Structure 1
Amino acid sequence: MYIGAHISASKGFEAMGKQALSLGANTFAFFTRNPRGGKAKEIDPADVDKLLALMEEHHFGKLVAHAPYTMNLCAAKENVRSFSIEMFQDDMKRMEYVPGNYYNFHPGSHVGQGAEKGIDLIAEALNVSLFPEQQTTVLLETMAGKGSEVGRNFQELREIIDRVELSDKLGVCLDTCHIWDGGYNIVEQLDEVLQEFDQVIGLNRLKAVHLNDSMNPLEAHKDRHEKIGEGHLGIEAITRIINHPVLRDLPFILETPNDDDGYRREIALLRKLWGETPVEQ
């Protein structure tokens, strides 16, 4: 099982890997820069090499880097959109220091322009930012649909993908809290939800899972994460999710409201549930 949590990048790459191991993790997520935006820290190639060696030694799964929350590729204000594209392009270059991993981002908020316009702007940004040689797969995250978020359903993500020239560089990160809040009943209809994902997007594009319980009932469109087993999804549904044949070998990233001890407990619990539950082939 590949499982980890969000780890602060402030101490460097090797330190992130060591912290992941201290949590019982064999993957992790990190923000490429301050999650509220700003200039990224300079990368030390020697530090990156130490992380890569540690990952190989301990058989890590794919890393799932996360773009800053302030990045909005479909912002209504041109200066915000331009700055977001610059951040994205810089992150694409930085991700090549850890080749073959994932870069996850919230598609954006159209801020009153309408979803169709937002989708067009996101695709335009991706078309001027992705490059043929890149080894990073960019993941569009499934969203809860609060406010003017783009990516509130599988169809909107499919429309973005269809407009991107280098669509082979794109995948999807499924957030369990987000899709539940967005109206996909993964508690009672997990198979049907994954079948719909396959029909609309294609399961070959599903690369990672943000594993979160939810403070809200189905279709609340609020996006408030809860600790594993303490929300409206519940431990039985979470167990089915991590053991589903389509999902069980993907990297699972916890974004639950926890400190390190909390993450350590959740990772240990999920490993036990993943290992003990039989899976039908």
Structure 2
Amino acid sequence: MIKIGCHLSSSKGFLHMGQEAVSIGANTFQFFTRNPRGSKAKPLDMEDIHAFRQFAEEHGIPVILAHAPYTLNPCSGTERTREFAFETMEDDLRRMEYLPGNYYNFHPGSHVGQGSEEGVRQIAEVLNHILRPEQTTTVLLETMAGKGTEVGRCFEELHEIIERVELSSHVGVCLDTCHVYDAGYDIVQNLDGVIAEFDRIIGLDRLKAIHINDSKNPFESHKDRHERIGEGALGLEAFVRIINHPKLRELPFYLETPNELAGYAREIELLKENYI
């Protein structure tokens, strides 16, 4: 069975997100840990967490994906911005342990003129400060489209970050289909080749989740604008190959397409119909 979900609002709690996911045919979901463009997180509701854990077990929700806010930049040229990223991620990981065994995804950040090597060093430094041997949450570096001074525009940069992390067993990768296509990895015409390159540079054992999004822009555009499945530059046939690829099909897939709940339900059904 395909593990498929979408991005849901966390404003009403985990149980509500689980119920929403099931109502649209999903068996996993992604959520922001706090306001995606802010800093404050809601207090933990232990009754809600307990109710969700029971609901997830009853309804076959094996794993969920937390997403750090977009405002984080652990490789900023400004010390206070780096401190904000450190404090937020450390707090998020502490909170995630109340839902053990899940994933926490973040955008590696932008080096803002310092150079990618310095960006890589600073990102790894933050991870070395916040990761704990006893944690059950796996932190995922997201593949990026390469706009501006983004770090993570190529597999080599992600590999360099992971290589510098002392507790690298707690680190994986979330591959975004829109981002990698915009970055210049041709998953439409050469999916096998891209997967082989990922395996050679990073290792497929590090690939834990996939953001499944079409792109509004053409190949190697470095733009990062998501489109609905089958309505963008990648096209439906590419996604059928992605979700059925023997090295990807068991991973959880998360939609981040421009949709409301009903639109996500249609996309989930579409992907299920094409999952062999």
* TM-score tier after normalising by the smaller chain length: over 0.9
CA distance in 1, matches of 2:246, 2:59: 24
Corresponding position of 1:32:
33
SS where residue 172 of structure 1 aligns? strand
CA distance in 1, matches of 2:114, 2:132: 28
Matched, 1:10 2:11: yes
Deviations 1:208-240 (A, max 9, x none): 000000011110000000000000100001100
CA distance in 1, matches of 2:141, 2:273: 29
Moved over 4 A (4+): none
Deviations 1:187-211 (A, max 9, x none): 0100000000000000000000000
Corresponding position of 1:184:
185
The aligned amino acid for 2:116 is: A
Shift of residue 5, structure 1, vs aligned partner: 0.4
Q: Is the 8 A contact 1:29 1:64 kept in 2?
A: yes
CA distance in 2, matches of 1:132, 1:202: 22
The aligned amino acid for 1:108 is: G
Shift of residue 37, structure 1, vs aligned partner: 2.1
SS where residue 139 of structure 2 aligns? strand
Corresponding position of 1:202:
203
Matched, 1:64 2:60: no
Matches within 5 A, 1:1-281: 1-275=2-276
SS where residue 105 of structure 2 aligns? strand
The aligned amino acid for 2:184 is: G
Q: Is the 8 A contact 1:61 1:251 kept in 2?
A: no
The aligned amino acid for 2:83 is: S
TM-score, normalised to structure 1, is: 0.97
SS where residue 130 of structure 2 aligns? coil
Deviations 1:33-76 (A, max 9, x none): 00002110001111101111111111113101100000111111
Shift of residue 176, structure 1, vs aligned partner: 0.2
SS where residue 15 of structure 1 aligns? helix
CA distance in 1, matches of 2:85, 2:156: 24
SS where residue 17 of structure 1 aligns? helix
The aligned amino acid for 1:261 is: A
SS where residue 128 of structure 1 aligns? helix
Corresponding position of 1:279:
none
The aligned amino acid for 1:28 is: F
* Structure 1 gap ranges (5+): 276-281
Shift of residue 22, structure 1, vs aligned partner: 1.1
Q: Is the 8 A contact 1:37 1:71 kept in 2?
A: no
CA distance in 1, matches of 2:149, 2:99: 33
What is the CA RMSD across the aligned residues, in angstroms? Answer: 0.6
Give % identity. Answer: 64
Deviations 1:246-269 (A, max 9, x none): 111110000000011100000001
SS where residue 249 of structure 2 aligns? coil
The aligned amino acid for 1:242 is: I
Alignment coverage as a number of residue pairs:
275
CA distance in 1, matches of 2:234, 2:177: 9
> Which segment is superposed worse, 85-94 or 55-64?
55-64
CA distance in 2, matches of 1:37, 1:6: 18
The aligned amino acid for 1:256 is: T
SS where residue 5 of structure 2 aligns? strand
The aligned amino acid for 2:88 is: M
Corresponding position of 1:278:
none
